Structure 1
Amino acid sequence: MKLVSPPVPRGVPEATVARLPLYLRALTALAERGVATVSSDELAETSGVNSAKLRKDLSYLGSYGTRGVGYEVEFLQHQISREIGLTQDWSVAIVGIGNLGHALANYGGFASRGFRIAALLDAEPERVGTEVAGLHVRPVDELERIVTEHNIAIAIVATPAHAAQAVCDRLVEVGITSILNFAPAVVQVPEGVVLRKVDLSTELQILAYHEQRRNGSALALTAEQAVELAKAVRG
């Protein structure tokens, strides 16, 4: 049966957009188990949000569920997939095929979510021409031709920090307007270009902070030790 969705209201808040993949992941798991309907409470718990926030988010898609029944899993899955653009395939290029870029190229989860890794690029001569995940690594100098050749829609930057800004600038120059940056660097892009950042080291540092807070009683100085240390510092 072909699903026909109602018109989707525009102006979906960014915070809601960021949660839609969480709902889609939960719905996909439910569909794989053969679940036909799900309540807002159950879907919210599976997605890690509260039910009021979930209902508000889904209302932006024109989906309100049915009282006493909940949401139809297949229909809601289709609505969210359509809203975030997963009802079509997206060609993706990875720039920087070091350890991280190599791992991303070999990740099998992209294809099942509508993302096709179409091109790999690197500036290092020893990497150009090598084969990774069934693709030959191409030189960055060929970026413009590759973007046109493969109709690249999204670029992933996995370069060292010092190269990230120049790579992003080049991507913008050749018409890429959606960039996912894994490089541990702050980069700037012009208005109209969507930049998302994934900094693994920062996330680890945040976890370390919480671990330290959790074990703070064991790590913190006693009041007497703090006074003695202050005296020593003052000399």
Structure 2
Amino acid sequence: MTSLDSTSQPVPELPDAGGTPPKQIPPAAVARLTLYLRALNTLLAEGVERVSSESLAEASGVSSSTLRKDLSHVGSYGTRGVGYEVQYLSRHIAAALGLTHDWKVAIVGAGNLGKALARYGGFESRGFDVVAIFDADQMVVGSEVGWLRVSDVADLETVLHRTGANMVVLALPAAVAQGVCDRVVAAGVRSVLSFAPVMLQVPEGVNLRKVDMATELQILAYHAQRAQTPGQPA
């Protein structure tokens, strides 16, 4: 089973132009690469052409040494005294993260969370195209969420194949999440993001990432409590 919790990331592989096997990037570095990419895209929008490692590190909330080490996994493209070319580094990190591929996302569950995800405008700008949304409630099926029409989950496999969806988000109750996940995997999808409050089982070769907001709040509460205790680092 390949299962990834909310503190880990799928590890992309960076193609090597010389034909050697692609190298894996450590999960913690993958998480930070997404921060660098966000900062770089902000700089691009502001018309900035070059950035120093110190400035990029500060914008990403990491140290300069950490940033340089992370970027070494995708090749170092900085020039001493000149910095990094923003557009080039942005494109290269995007390629390392797999964002140059055509990612089509289907959302299963058209409740409040599923609808909010379907309407979120940030996915498209980051390379993710939401192509379908499903629900089992016949009062919801056929309604519109943004530009999408809610499909019947009974037609899950047909719609997944028709839309070419290669990522699925599960915004479902715990009781039905495993069954739907099994159907998604059987339909050929190998990347699943689950918001369901239950541990799902998937076969080897399927990347499952779980987001548990209650757990994240509990972790946040722990750190907040330590911050309020004299002499205890957060």
Structure 1 contact 6–62 (Cα < 8 Å) conserved: no
Write the deviation string for residues 22-43 of structure 1: whole angstroms up to 9, x where unpaired.
Answer: 1100000111111111111111
Tell me, yes or no, if the aligned pair for 1:91 and 1:117 is still in contact at 8 Å.
yes
| 1:86 aligned residue (88, 96, 99) | 99
Unaligned runs of 5+ in 2: 1-14
Q: 2:139 aligns to what?
A: 126
Residue in structure 1 matched with residue 219 of structure 2 by the alignment = 206
SS in structure 2 at match of 1:110: helix
* Whole-angstrom CA distance in 1 between matches of 2:40 and 2:116: 27
CA contact 2:77–2:89 (8 Å) conserved in 1: no
Once residues 103 and 171 of structure 1 are traced to their aligned partners in structure 2, the CA distance between those partners, rounded to angstroms, is: 21
Larger RCO (CA within 8 A; separation ≥ 6): 2
* Unpaired stretches in structure 1, ≥5 consecutive residues: 218-235
**Normalization by structure 1: what TM-score?**
0.85
Which residue in 1 is equivalent to 2:168?
155
Instruction: Provide, for residues 116-153 of structure 1, a one-character-per-residue CA deviation record: whole Å limited to 9, x for no partner.
Output: 11000112222111111121111112111111101111
Whole-angstrom CA distance in 2 between matches of 1:85 and 1:64? 19
Name the amino acid aligned to 2:190: T
Q: Distance in 1 between matches of 2:81 and 2:107?
A: 46
Superposition map of 1:74-223 within 5 A: 74-216=87-229
Match of 2:49 among 36, 51, 60: 36
SS of 2:121's equivalent in the other structure is coil
Q: How much does 1:63 deviate?
A: 2.4
Q: Which position in structure 1 is the counterpart of 2:17?
A: 7
Match of 2:33 among 1, 20, 23: 20
Cα shift readout 1:153-181 (whole Å, capped 9, x = no counterpart): 10001001222211211111111100111
How far apart, CA to CA, are the structure 1 residues paired with 2:77 and 2:101?
Answer: 25
1:232 is matched with: none
Name whichever structure is richer in helix by fraction: 1
Give me the whole-angstrom Cα distance separating, in 2, the residues matched to 1:154 and 1:93. Answer: 6
- Alignment CA distance shift 1:17-1:7 (3 Å): farther
Aligned to 2:12: none
Q: Which has the larger radius of gyration?
A: 1
Identity over aligned pairs, percent: 57
In 2, Cα distance between equivalents of 1:130 and 1:86: 31
CA offsets 1:84-140 (integer angstroms, 9 cap, x no match): 222243110000111100110111111111111100011222211111112111111
The letter for the 2-side match of 1:32 is A
Which residue identity lines up with residue 198 of structure 1 in the other structure? V
Matched residues in 2 for 1:209 and 1:52: separation?
28
**What is the CA–CA distance in structure 2 between the aligned matches of 1:149 and 1:34, rounded to whole Å?**
39
Pairwise CA distance, 1:213: 2.9
TM-score by length of structure 2 reads 0.85
Question: Could you tell me whether the CA contact under 8 Å between 1:94 and 1:157 is conserved in 2?
Answer: yes
Q: Does 1:62 align with 2:62?
A: no
